[in-house]
Amino acid sequence: MTKQSLFQLAIPGVQQLVPYAPGKPITELQRELGLEHIVKLASNENPLGPGPKAIAAIETALPDLARYPDGSGFLLKQALSGRHDISTEQIVLGNGSNEILELLARTFLTPDTEVIFSQHAFAVYPLVTQAVGAQGKSIPALNYGHDLDGMLKAVTANTRMVFIANPNNPTGTFLQHDELESFLKSLPKHVICVLDEAYYEFINEQENFNSRLWLEQFANFIITRTFSKAYGLAGLRVGYGLSSVEMIDLLNRVRQPFNNNSLALAAAQAALDDSDYLHKTLDVNRQGMKQLTKAFSDLNLSWIPSAGNFVSVDLHRPAFPVYEALLKKGVIVRPVANYEMPNHLRISIGTLEENQFFIDALSEVLRDV
């Protein structure tokens, strides 16, 4: 069989898919340029590394690696149940929260259904939509954020799902409690609202609210969270969904039986208890956000105010050449032209030293271009 004909066997959505482009791995840039010192601020990872309690839990779990993991994730769900004051039957665990997004697509979407998401929203929404052949509808953003009214107006009888990232990646924009609540109230019951809260822990205290309480009011609603960002476990792949018992039952039918490995389960459970590490993480993030935005303002650059652990800066010129020049200096950031933001770079907030290394490199690059 030729390549051509194999391609034609794929479902049309997959034929048109552009694979997700992750941040460049440090080892790849090392291979390419032979640089010793590399700073990666490209994937919204925790710059402190994993927390000490997570590492200790992994060491404890190592001797049991010959066994299959607990496919029900009993202990982690128990811990999450206590944390969120919710029944374990309302929790589904995923191999990263990305897997929950994919499970939702596989559970509810068919080629006859439509999915609504915002322009500049997380790239995985169109990806999981197209992968199952459903129709994605991207709604133009308002000041880089979700236009909730526009999204509501786009709902038809065929709409089955709407994805909302709060805060959104890569813009960092944040929707307040009241606007989201009135959106949920207006959303027809045949549409499932997926509220992706991957950056929940970073939202400042004055603005933050407990979206979990909406689960009691809205059956067509699911919240996704992750251990990849504030909890520093991106490499282990653990996320979860909170929803109604009925929703979780459906997702569990589609879920692979052992989707979370045993080290990931143990580490996530321990990380949930490590409040010292979480506080340190939030501190580093607050300071880094100040440091970066002050540097941007010194460089006469504007940025999108961000509620997350990253910030997208407007270079007022095509960003890709600046991205490439930064790579040569050993700094990996994220170009976001694929998000229709060709003049922006998204910078994940690192340690003070990493941020400074980036700021110095950026200042030099901007002087040279």
Ligand X SMILES: *Cc1c(COP(=O)(O)O)cnc(C)c1O
Chain residues in the site for ligand X (CB under 6 A): 44, 96-98, 122, 165, 169, 196, 198, 226, 228-229, 234, 239
Output 124 or 361, the one with its CB closest to ligand X.
124
Quick check: helix, strand or coil at residue 359? helix
Q: How far is the CB of 169 from ligand X (least distance, A)?
A: 3
Output 125 or 359, the one with its CB closest to ligand X.
125
Output 136 or 239, the one with its CB closest to ligand X.
239
Name the amino acid, one letter, at 160: R
Please provide the distance, in angstroms rounded to a whole number, between the alpha carbons at the two ends of the chain: 49
Output 271 or 365, the one with its CB closest to ligand X.
271
Contact, 197 vs 228, CB < 8 A? no
Cβ neighbours of 203 (radius 10 Å): 16
Q: How far is the CB of 202 from ligand X (least distance, A)?
A: 11
Question: What CA–CA distances, in Å, run from 189 to 49, 122, 156, 179, 239?
Answer: 42, 24, 12, 18, 26
Query: Could you give the angle at the alpha carbon of 131 between the alpha carbons of 137 and 89, nearest 5°?
Result: 90
Output 13 or 170, the one with its CB closest to ligand X.
170
Question: What CA–CA distances, in Å, run from 243 to 74, 170, 225, 240?
Answer: 17, 25, 12, 10
Q: DSSP class of residue 189?
A: T
Q: How far is the CB of 347 from ligand X (least distance, A)?
A: 14
Q: How far is the CB of 44 from ligand X (least distance, A)?
A: 6
Q: Residue number with the shortest CB distance to ligand X?
A: 96
Output 156 or 256, the one with its CB closest to ligand X.
256
**Helical axes 352-368 vs 320-328, angle rounded to 10°:** 120
Distance CA 87, CA 184 (A): 22
Q: How far is the CB of 80 from ligand X (least distance, A)?
A: 14
Q: How far is the CB of 125 from ligand X (least distance, A)?
A: 9
Q: DSSP class of residue 93?
A: E
